[in-house]
Structure 1
Amino acid sequence: MTDTNLFDIVITGGHVICPASDVNGVMDVAIRGGRIAAVQKDILPSSAKQVIDAKGKIVLPGLIDTHGHVYQYVTGRFGMNADMVGVESGVTTVIDQGGPSCMTLPGFRKFVAETSKTRVLAFLSAYLVGGLEGHLYPNLYSPDCVDIDATVLSANANKDIVRGIKGHAEIGGFARWGIKVLEMSAEIGRQTQLPLYVHFGQLWGLPDSGANGEDADTIIERVIPQLRPGDILAHPFTRHPGGFVDRDGNVHSVIRAALDRGLKVDVGHGSHFSYRLARKALDAGIVPDTLGADMHGYNTHVPAPAGTPGEHPDDENHPFAGQAKFSLTQAMSSMMALGLTLEQVVPMVTTNPATMVGRSDELGSLQVGRIADVTVLSDLRGRFVLADNEKNQVIAERLLQPAFCFRAGERFDATAPILPQAVAA
């Protein structure tokens, strides 16, 4: 018998937003053979093998999380399961930030990138050890632990999954080694022609000798001249010293000029995020380009695998312990609660990150013929409480939550146990 259906799946009646296609309205999305086959109004239900009603929901290109930590097991408690962070949370692509290094990238490819249902890319660590235990051991991140040639060779040989370089510019590192490590990281970026993603905000704490004459408020001013257009300033709204807002509560004057010459900003939500400081930066006109959740095993309560007694250990002494649950969609809701529109936020998790990783011809769009990566979100209305690690709260009138997604045409429901639940005001 001949199959008369034009499409495998039609998602009907959802509010489709695709910045790359300039689509923003109620549309149907059809999938055939794992690719987008049509985006238009009133596709006949009889033309599809399966019809999914998305009325009242938001339909987007598959979400891209620009800041994941998914080198599970190798990075210790820090690394999470890629599919828990990814497709089980409504996210079709996760970019691991600095988990693998030139030494450990083969394992990342074989055991994470190649085995996950989620598309997993990486910003390769500038350090030989990568992100072991979430950088708990500062001595592993000195200039002596960076090999420029080896890292360049590894990145250039693996550009199908390595789409950037990860480095750090924070007071703990500067107090120990000055700007040397950041200069080496920037050189790796230049030689590979990949963007450098720079962590700002205290991470390692100060050595026993104190700050060694370093001032956290001068770090951004010293680092920005080392960077190229397309490099990324991460954690702009960090609650820790060394972010976009100085100790006097003012946004650094060099930020605007940096953005004007092509540097980019990634929220990197996670434990660092402060509503108080985000408000200051947004009021100064600093609107991020991309938005990463920055979940990891220290700031997200991760249930133990089935059959394992007990639960994931909580380390109360870890500087990031105690974070309320969050997700990429919760981070989107945070930005909307701070005054950005849905239309401003959607590019941060679709078209802009696709450009960031040099894959705008493949990712971040519902254009016909593209791989069928689609995210469907519930759009809750009301008054919901969102909190950060400073215990600041904001009230969100819209709360986005993942319903399901398609990754290359395969459906995944949003069943991740790490997903936050709505808290009414």
Structure 2
Amino acid sequence: MADVSRYDTLLRGGRVICPASGVDGIKDVAIRDGRIAAVEDTIIPTSATDVIDVSGKLVLPGMIDTHGHIYQYVTGRFGLNPDMVGVRSGVTTVVDQGGPSCMTLPGFRHYIAEKADTRVYAFLSAYLVGGLEGHFYPNLYSPEGVDVDATVKSATENKDLVRGIKGHAEIGGFARWGIKVMEMAAQISRRSQLPLYVHFGQLWGLPESGANGEDANTIMERVIPLLQPGDVLAHPFTRHPGGFINEEGVVHPIIRAAMDAGLRVDVGHGSHFSYRVARASLPAGVIPYTLGADMHGYNTEVPQPAGTPDEHHDDENHPFLGQARFSLTQAMSSMMALGIPLEDVVPMVTKNPAEMLGLSDRIGALKPGYAADVSVLHDDRGRFLLRDNEDTRVIADRLLRPAFCLRNGKRFDADSPILPHAVAA
């Protein structure tokens, strides 16, 4: 029985799953002064000021989205509001993947990280321009757009916020500049002693002269030797050329060896995700370590105030607007629909990303003394339709939806307007 000293909040009767502490069962969770105070089979309700009945729901350590795009306004239509992706979607921590650069990190710190209710971190872009709308302006991402020394200095001096480096290994870039930019990104990562998160899958399109002799099938074999244990391979289930699957539909043999050597795999769900590719990859042992939603303004319906300029709203570069298929809980539901048990999915959004960020001592677990970051989810049963951007349709018998979260003990309901709606099959 827990100590009956007064608690601020008590979450009663939910299924608590905390992989970091080995807990999985019906428990009560007590919070005091913004921190986890106790996790017990039963805690006396009168010991808490606020008692919340969460029976029938999942109670997880505050979920960590490892792949967000939340540098709102600065990255054009790409950047979403951090709290729409974060606490208002049941997610307590969001990692912006490559939005800020060494030039724009001060603005990211002041206007995003310090202003958001969500806990925010960044993987610093290897490029001076950061995460601008590169599919419109690919030449900004050439070797001339990389300053190794300045980026190392920025990353090293801001490690409270910067937890890694973001680079791109994709055929559009390789066709223009070869492997040079990736070599520079790896140099930044090594010198700053931070993990390198590598985007795979075509992103910027090919130059007018075609692929300039480059073969998307060779990118993996050329990039992976640049990496080291702890680095992250993103988009394992991408539907675009240059990913984990070769033109014959087979997983590159080097992937399994890389994972065995300590490289990590992050799903980076969003518009890159393909059920078809996932079904080919999972039997080959490509099991994700972490799971990011990869929501951004080009794959999410973002409510626009009247009179807001939106010059790209209807063009061909913005084909997914309005489909609202992506969130971290939707990505978790996708993994479960592919046959990965819930018990193996939960570490992908809690314990494992905390380890990836080097923050296992403070987030990613429901341990006494840790920040009271808690995600409470609906666990719906039935028949639900899930779709990817190839329009592959999957019938799931289980759907996770966010109910609310606590961030340092403060409650935020899951009322984000960009959350997908459940679709019955």
TM-score of the two chains, using structure 1 as the length reference: 0.97
Which amino acid in 1 is paired with 2:320? A
> 1:304 deviation in Å?
1.7
Quick one: distance in 2 between partners of 1:84 and 1:389? Answer: 22
Quick one: distance in 2 between partners of 1:42 and 1:227? Answer: 47
Spell out, residue by residue over 1:70-92, the C-alpha distance to the aligned partner (whole angstroms, 9 max, x if none): 00000011100000000000000
* 3-state DSSP of counterpart to 1:318: coil
> 1:317 deviation in Å?
1.1
Task: Give the equivalent residue in structure 1 for 2:266.
Answer: 266
Task: Give the equivalent residue in structure 2 for 1:321.
Answer: 320
Spell out, residue by residue over 1:35-73, the C-alpha distance to the aligned partner (whole angstroms, 9 max, x if none): 000000111111100100000000000000000000000
- Counterpart mapping for 1:111-150 below 5 A: 111-150=111-150
Of stretches 249-258 and 129-138 in structure 1, the one that deviates more from structure 2 is 129-138
Matched, 1:409 2:409: yes
Quick one: distance in 2 between partners of 1:390 and 1:136? Answer: 22
Which amino acid in 2 is paired with 1:141? Y
Task: Give the equivalent residue in structure 2 for 1:27.
Answer: 27
Task: Give the equivalent residue in structure 1 for 2:66.
Answer: 66
- Root mean square deviation of aligned Cα: 1.3
- Counterpart mapping for 1:246-265 below 5 A: 246-265=246-265
Task: Give the equivalent residue in structure 2 for 1:162.
Answer: 162
Spell out, residue by residue over 1:188-237, the C-alpha distance to the aligned partner (whole angstroms, 9 max, x if none): 00001100000000001110110011010110011000001000000010
CA 1:73 to 1:319, structure 2 compared with 1: closer, same or farther past 3 Å? closer
Task: Give the equivalent residue in structure 2 for 1:174.
Answer: 174
Q: Contact 2:135/2:205 (CA < 8 Å) preserved in 1?
A: no
Spell out, residue by residue over 1:231-261, the C-alpha distance to the aligned partner (whole angstroms, 9 max, x if none): 0000010000011111111010000100010
- Counterpart mapping for 1:1-16 below 5 A: 6-16=6-16
Q: Contact 2:152/2:191 (CA < 8 Å) preserved in 1?
A: yes
Task: Give the equivalent residue in structure 2 for 1:232.
Answer: 232
CA 1:240 to 1:10, structure 2 compared with 1: closer, same or farther past 3 Å? same
- Counterpart mapping for 1:317-396 below 5 A: 317-318=316-317, 321-322=320-321, 323-396=323-396
* 3-state DSSP of counterpart to 2:58: strand
Quick one: distance in 1 between partners of 2:116 and 2:108? Answer: 11
Spell out, residue by residue over 1:356-390, the C-alpha distance to the aligned partner (whole angstroms, 9 max, x if none): 11101111000011010000000000010000000
Task: Give the equivalent residue in structure 1 for 2:298.
Answer: 298
Spell out, residue by residue over 1:104-163, the C-alpha distance to the aligned partner (whole angstroms, 9 max, x if none): 000000000000000110000000000112553100000000000000000001000000
- Counterpart mapping for 1:167-246 below 5 A: 167-246=167-246
Matched, 1:48 2:33: no
Quick one: distance in 1 between partners of 2:313 and 2:420? Answer: 18
* 3-state DSSP of counterpart to 1:335: helix
Quick one: distance in 2 between partners of 1:318 and 1:294? Answer: 17
Task: Give the equivalent residue in structure 2 for 1:98.
Answer: 98
Quick one: distance in 2 between partners of 1:264 and 1:339? Answer: 20
Gaps of 5+ in 2: none
Of stretches 134-143 and 104-113 in structure 1, the one that deviates more from structure 2 is 134-143
Gaps of 5+ in 1: none
Q: Contact 2:325/2:387 (CA < 8 Å) preserved in 1?
A: no
Q: Contact 1:123/1:165 (CA < 8 Å) preserved in 2?
A: yes
Of stretches 77-86 and 133-142 in structure 1, the one that deviates more from structure 2 is 133-142
- Identity, in percent, stands at 71
Q: Contact 2:299/2:318 (CA < 8 Å) preserved in 1?
A: no
* Matched residues, number: 420
Q: Contact 2:31/2:372 (CA < 8 Å) preserved in 1?
A: yes
Q: Contact 1:88/1:414 (CA < 8 Å) preserved in 2?
A: yes
Quick one: distance in 2 between partners of 1:337 and 1:136? Answer: 35
Which amino acid in 2 is paired with 1:208? E
Quick one: distance in 2 between partners of 1:134 and 1:175? Answer: 15
Which amino acid in 2 is paired with 1:317? E
> 1:326 deviation in Å?
1.4
Q: Contact 1:301/1:325 (CA < 8 Å) preserved in 2?
A: no
Q: Contact 1:303/1:311 (CA < 8 Å) preserved in 2?
A: no
Which amino acid in 2 is paired with 1:52? I
> 1:321 deviation in Å?
3.0
Quick one: distance in 2 between partners of 1:25 and 1:158? Answer: 39
Quick one: distance in 2 between partners of 1:63 and 1:134? Answer: 29
Q: Contact 1:75/1:134 (CA < 8 Å) preserved in 2?
A: no
Quick one: distance in 1 between partners of 2:74 and 2:39? Answer: 41
Quick one: distance in 2 between partners of 1:140 and 1:320? Answer: 23
Task: Give the equivalent residue in structure 1 for 2:79.
Answer: 79
TM-score of the two chains, using structure 2 as the length reference: 0.97
> 1:314 deviation in Å?
2.4
